[in-house]
């Protein structure tokens, strides 16, 4: 039977005594207790801690809404920015067939808006939607965040022009604040189906609320398995003080030890293109949670083996300010075997009969060895395969490790005061009072 998510830290052994890492991980149980007991900063935003066990009763409503949207449309536009779309996009991209949308027989198409202010992007999207039978999921607590609010105004107008106001209202679902805000008022006035964003869950921790679960269900994936995986990880970590069986303690402690050793950049590494948006979600989670008060590990990512031919040179021989966390998948789920060539003009017959998965795993192992020898510490997080259950484990693991890590660092991991700085400058330039 698969063990589920595992963490390996032997790639740190050249840089730190292992007993020091385990001692720090044991000590980090104090930060876990602070998190679980609500004794640290930001304790009014801890609803995500028990979401896997709390969300079960809402799953039927989410599934029913997803089924309705799939029945009346072939495309759903998810409008949101930051945590309002990154989690669902990460899961959907990890589970979707790479070329699912390239033929006539494609699955229900989930596309995104409201995460940029690019005129070309929106113009291209509107032109695409002229020929699509589409629905909208708009996600915003306030309804006034510039990027999603602008996108919603444009897409709502387009949908109403295409379908009529009454039909458009039946095709829009709002995920917003329980009581207040512009989007809440609009939803009540227009009669949109609505879901609530819990008051005690911040955006970057919201993937296991309707914010993340509804788009994943619309895309056709099993949100019950996603929640089951996260619930199992919740049980494994939330009250477990043993770093040998609690991977979140080990990861949080190890990355902070690296930070104290001057390794101020963490690179999340993957060897599957399907994991690209998991990295994007992870970067927001850790960047917004820890980058404050002049502190914090800078979260970066690479998609290997592609980026071994670009950033690989810097990682191997550049400044020794970084460490890597490798997100490894044991089984790719689909095997492609290298054929034998009689002429062997490309010199690749030594690979004949081997699978592409084996070659990719060899590249992963060889790169890890080379980087460690080059002065780059390595942590490995391994999943047996990519499915809803193991992604659920991974999402919750990263979230709880982030909370612990933030408290070790001495910051509030649940606020983001710096995000407001650009908004004030932008509003001034736009003439907003």
Residue 349: band (very low, low, confident or very high) from pLDDT cuts 50, 70, 90: very high
Rg (CA), the chain: 23
Taking 80 as the threshold, does the pLDDT of residue 100 lie above it? no
Query: Any bridge partners for residue 109, and if so which?
Result: 75
**pLDDT value of position 102:** 55
| CB distance 47 to 201 below 8 Å | yes
Name which residue leads in pLDDT, 396 or 432: 396
Taking 80 as the threshold, does the pLDDT of residue 433 lie above it? no
Biggest alpha carbon–alpha carbon distance for the chain:
74
Q: Which residue has the tokens 């002065």?
A: 375
Q: Distance between CA atoms of 19 and 206, rounded to whole angstroms?
A: 35
Q: How many CB atoms lie within 10 A of CB 275?
A: 25
Strand ranges in 203-273 using DSSP code E only, listed in sequence order = 265-270
Q: Distance between CA atoms of 433 and 415, rounded to whole angstroms?
A: 25
Q: Distance between CA atoms of 281 and 91, rounded to whole angstroms?
A: 10
Per residue in 144-164, pLDDT (tens digit) is 899 999 999 999 999 999 999
pTM: 0.95
Q: How many helices (H) and strands (E) does the chain have?
A: 17, 10
- CATH superfamily of the 6-39+226-409 domain: Glucose-6-phosphate isomerase like protein; domain 1 (3.40.50.10490)
Taking 80 as the threshold, does the pLDDT of residue 104 lie above it? no
Per residue in 225-239, pLDDT (tens digit) is 999 999 999 999 999
**Structural domain spans, the chain:** 6-39+226-409, 47-221
| CB distance 351 to 407 below 8 Å | no
Query: For 67, how many CA atoms within 13 A lie in the half-sphere containing its CB?
Result: 8
Q: Distance between CA atoms of 391 and 302, rounded to whole angstroms?
A: 19
**pLDDT value of position 82:** 93
Taking 70 as the threshold, does the pLDDT of residue 409 lie above it? yes
| CB distance 94 to 274 below 8 Å | yes
Strand, coil or helix: 56: helix
Q: 62 is written with which tokens?
A: 């989410």
Name which residue leads in pLDDT, 9 or 433: 9
Q: How many CB atoms lie within 10 A of CB 181?
A: 18
Taking 90 as the threshold, does the pLDDT of residue 107 lie above it? no
Taking 60 as the threshold, does the pLDDT of residue 418 lie above it? yes
CATH code reported for the domain at 47-221: 3.40.50.10490
Q: Which of 379, 128, 366 has its CA nearest to residue 252?
A: 379
The catalytic site residues sit at: 288, 309, 423
Residue 69: band (very low, low, confident or very high) from pLDDT cuts 50, 70, 90: very high
Is the peptide bond between 357 and the residue preceding it cis, with omega within 30 degrees of 0?
no
């Amino acid at each position: 039977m698969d063990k589920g998510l595992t963490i390996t830290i032997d790639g740190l052994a050249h840089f730190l005594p292992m007993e020091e890492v385990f001692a720090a991980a044991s000590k980090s149980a104090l930060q876990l207790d602070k998190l679980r007991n609500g004794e640290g900063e930001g304790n009014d935003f801890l609803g995500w801690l028990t979401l896997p066990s709390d969300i079960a009763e809402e799953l039927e409503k989410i599934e029913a809404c997803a089924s309705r949207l799939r029945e009346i449309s072939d495309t759903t536009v998810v409008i949101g920015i930051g945590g309002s779309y990154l989690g669902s996009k990460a899961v959907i991209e990890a589970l979707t067939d790479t070329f699912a949308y390239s033929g006539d027989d494609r699955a229900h198409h989930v596309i995104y808006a409201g995460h940029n202010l690019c005129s070309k992007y929106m113009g291209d999207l509107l032109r695409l939607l002229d020929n699509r039978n589409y629905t909208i999921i708009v996600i915003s607590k306030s309804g006034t965040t510039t990027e999603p609010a602008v996108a919603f105004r444009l897409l709502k107008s387009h949908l109403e022009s295409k379908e009529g106001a009454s039909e458009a209202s039946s095709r829009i679902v709002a995920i917003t604040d329980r009581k207040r805000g512009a989007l809440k008022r609009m939803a009540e006035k227009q009669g949109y189906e609505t879901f609530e964003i819990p008051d005690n869950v911040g955006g970057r921790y919201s993937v296991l609320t309707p914010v993340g679960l509804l788009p994943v269900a619309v895309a056709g994936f099993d949100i019950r398995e996603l929640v089951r995986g996260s619930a199992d990880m919740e049980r494994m970590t939330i009250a477990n003080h043993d770093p040998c069986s609690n991977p979140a303690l080990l990861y949080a402690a190890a990355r902070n030890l690296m930070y104290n050793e001057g390794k101020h950049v963490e690179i999340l590494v993957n060897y599957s293109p399907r994991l690209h948006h998991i990295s994007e979600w992870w970067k927001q989670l850790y960047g917004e949670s820890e980058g404050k008060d002049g502190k914090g590990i800078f979260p970066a990512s690479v998609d290997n083996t592609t980026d071994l031919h670009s950033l690989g040179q810097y990682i191997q021989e550049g400044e020794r300010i970084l460490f890597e966390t490798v997100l490894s998948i044991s089984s790719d789920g689909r095997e492609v075997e290298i054929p034998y060539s009689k002429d062997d003009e490309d010199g690749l017959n030594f690979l004949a009969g081997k699978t592409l998965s084996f070659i990719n795993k060899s590249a992963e192992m060889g790169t890890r060895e080379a980087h460690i020898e080059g002065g780059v510490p390595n942590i490995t997080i391994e999943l047996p395969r990519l499915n809803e259950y193991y992604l659920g484990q991974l999402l919750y693991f990263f979230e709880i490790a982030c909370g612990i890590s933030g408290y070790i660092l001495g910051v509030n991991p649940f606020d983001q005061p710096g995000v407001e700085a650009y908004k004030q400058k932008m509003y001034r330039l736009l003439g907003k009072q």
